[in-house]
Amino acid sequence: MENQKLIEAYQHRRGNQIPSIARAPGRVNLIGDHTDYNDGFVMPMAIDREIKIAFTPRTDGKLCLFSIDFQEEFSMDLSSFEKGESHWGEYIKGIAWALQERGYSLKGWQGVMSGNIPKGAGLSSSAALELVAAVVFSRVSRFPWAPKEMALLAQKAENQWVGVNCGIMDQLISAAGEKDHALFMDCRNLETQSVPMPKGTAVIVMDTGTRRGLVDSAYNERREQCERASFFFNVPALRDVSMQTFQDSCESMDELIKKRARHVIGENQRVILAVEAMKKNQASELGKFLYESHVSLRDDFEVSSEALNLLVEIAMKDDACYGARMTGAGFGGCAVAVVKDHEAQAFMDRISSAFRIKASHSGEFYLCQAMDGAGVIEQC
């Protein structure tokens, strides 16, 4: 929603004050999936799909937020609140809880919110919701915006309040993204490095339109399998195992755990190689690693789906495509493709109709721009 429209919606609902606007983006991960909770490497970018909140402070310690998209009002008292049913408001409570646990004294606020990140598509709408609320709290409660700290608190909210056992990638990229760049992240020490896309390329998000209900349990199961693998190698995390060590000592491993470990160890290597390819402007090399990542997620980590595989194969056959892969947790949702930028629209048209014919339902295709991480965009 345009800023002006959001301000009007705020004034229509809350009166004539001029609000500030906070925003936080969704993300697409270029390469490095299921590596973040293994202390490994990832390379997502924040995208031009975001959640915005127009807000003003309140003096009574209450928070009132109207979601334009859900047509629903959520309110809470910051001095006393409890976990409730699964609802978007739980993300707001979760971040309030995590900030208070960290020792921040929070002031109340009122706002209206709108976003354009498709939900359940694996583009991190929940991380964006946590981060946009964190931005508002930091502004009204007057504490400095520290992206890494805020990402960690948002992850804590998601893990301990909402109850989803995610890694740090989604929150960190939503907090710390950089315009026109992907962000290489070391998920052990949270160091980041911005990496420009190779010249002449565009990033396309390809949404299969399929959503899977069982993601959470399958995700937790994968995490446990990775822990078993790191226990086998007697290291803190799979990040600490090189491909050489893996090959030398994996013989006696359980077959399933071996496959899971091979994905994570190989994926970490691919992220490093992808960063090098991007720095050297080698789009074809980058594309090759993307597809290798897909194959590994499909065959070794087993988190892809029929629709994702179909979409990736269709994309890979297209001359404009350097490489494609499923992205995010998997089991449905989105794939990502790096394509020749002057052919981006034609690519989307071709893939869209080929997918519709073969899958007998439609996908959604977006050309993405890399954006800055969460912040305030308009102040009174």
The answer to whether residues 75 and 93 touch, using CB atoms and an 8 Å cutoff, is: no
The answer to whether residues 291 and 324 touch, using CB atoms and an 8 Å cutoff, is: yes
Residue ranges of alpha helices (H) inside 72-214 are 89-101, 125-140, 147-156, 169-176
Residue ranges of alpha helices (H) inside 202-282 are 215-233, 243-249, 255-279
25 touches ligand GLA by CB under 6 A = no
| Contact window for ligand GLA (CB under 6 A) among 29-37, 189-197, 200-208, 341-349 | 29-37
Total residues binding ligand GLA (CB under 6 A): 10
Tell which residue, 84, 247, 233, has the closest CA to residue 163: 84
Q: Which CB, 38 or 138, lies closer to ligand GLA?
A: 38
Catalytic residue list: 170
The residue count of the chain comes to 380
Contact track, ligand GLA, 154-193, x by CB under 6 A: ------------xx-xx-----------------------
Task: Give min distance, CB of 294 to ligand GLA, in A.
Answer: 13
What is the C-alpha to C-alpha distance for residues 323 and 317, in angstroms, rounded to an integer?
10
What is the C-alpha to C-alpha distance for residues 278 and 322, in angstroms, rounded to an integer?
12
Q: Which of 205, 329, 338, 348 binds ligand GLA (CB under 6 A)?
A: 329
332 touches ligand GLA by CB under 6 A = no
DSSP string covering 303-348: ---HHHHHHHHHHHHSTTEEEEEE-SS-SSSEEEEEEEGGGHHHHH
325 touches ligand GLA by CB under 6 A = no
Q: Which of 108, 328, 363, 375 binds ligand GLA (CB under 6 A)?
A: 328
Q: Which of residues 33-52 bind ligand GLA (CB under 6 A)?
A: 33-34, 36-37
Q: Which CB, 195 or 329, lies closer to ligand GLA?
A: 329
Task: Give min distance, CB of 293 to ligand GLA, in A.
Answer: 10
Residues near ligand GLA (CB under 6 A): 33-34, 36-37, 166-167, 169-170, 328-329
